[in-house]
Structure 1
């Protein structure tokens, strides 16, 4: 855990459970969402969202109306460090567990089958409710 001090400060206690993450820009904030691998029936959350405000440098008024000013947004230093640690975590996992492509396809296919079955059951239920 000492390898990931920023993630620890953010409240991520089980780094080994981190499955993936996404990052999106929303207005003047960056939103980092971290997804966890959880066993079936677990009461722990499957994801956690973190919002980081973007800082701006102080510039003369004339420059603020230009497009260059929009590109002067600064990403949060804490977000940069968290992303570095998440990339490091991903790299560590890839070194340790090279996944067999056939196994990955079979796992993806099983997941797709479960999703499709659940969706079809939901649509059938909605049709029955209409009768």
Structure 2
């Protein structure tokens, strides 16, 4: 049994309520999102987002768009430890996404963000009337 020290340091304490997690890459950072099982009426957040900067490596400019660049820019050790703990908690073994799956996941995330923002703006417009 692990004490989930990395997750505790990140401010996560309700381990039994974690339902799933997702990881995506945004430019030069990794974004980890942890989802909780909470009632719809709960005032506590249904998810938490954590951002981790990717380490920068000093390599020639012409190599930065190559496969070697992708391999050099590993994720944060803290993120890796958090992922290991989350995998233990949720009983999942994350498989690497194919480029197509990664793009589809990014597209879904963008659609969700846009839909939420549109709903927020519509609600503000309704409040003006």
Q: What TM-score, normalized to structure 2? A: 0.63
Displacement of 1:74 in angstroms is 2.0
Asked if structure 2 preserves the Cα contact closer than 8 Å seen for 1:56 and 1:74, the reply is: no
1:17 counterpart residue number: 17
Q: Tell me if 1:72 matches 2:72.
A: yes
Higher relative contact order, structure no. (Cα contacts within 8 Å, ≥ 6 residues apart): 2
User: What root-mean-square deviation, in Å, do the aligned CA atoms of Structure 1 and Structure 2 show?
Assistant: 1.9
Q: Tell me if 1:54 matches 2:51.
A: no
| Greater gyration radius | 1
Displacement of 1:65 in angstroms is 1.6
Number of residue-to-residue matches in the alignment = 89
Which aligned segments of 4 or more residues in structure 1 are displaced greater than 4 angstroms? none
Shift in CA distance, 44/75, structure 1 to aligned 2, threshold 3 Å: same
Quick one: distance in 2 between partners of 1:2 and 1:72?
Answer: 30
Displacement of 1:40 in angstroms is 3.5
Unaligned runs of at least 5 residues, structure 1: 93-131
Displacement of 1:2 in angstroms is 5.6
Q: What TM-score, normalized to structure 1? A: 0.62
Could you report, residue by residue, the CA deviation over 1:89-111 in whole angstroms, capped at 9, with x for unpaired residues? 1229xxxxxxxxxxxxxxxxxxx
2:110 counterpart residue number: none
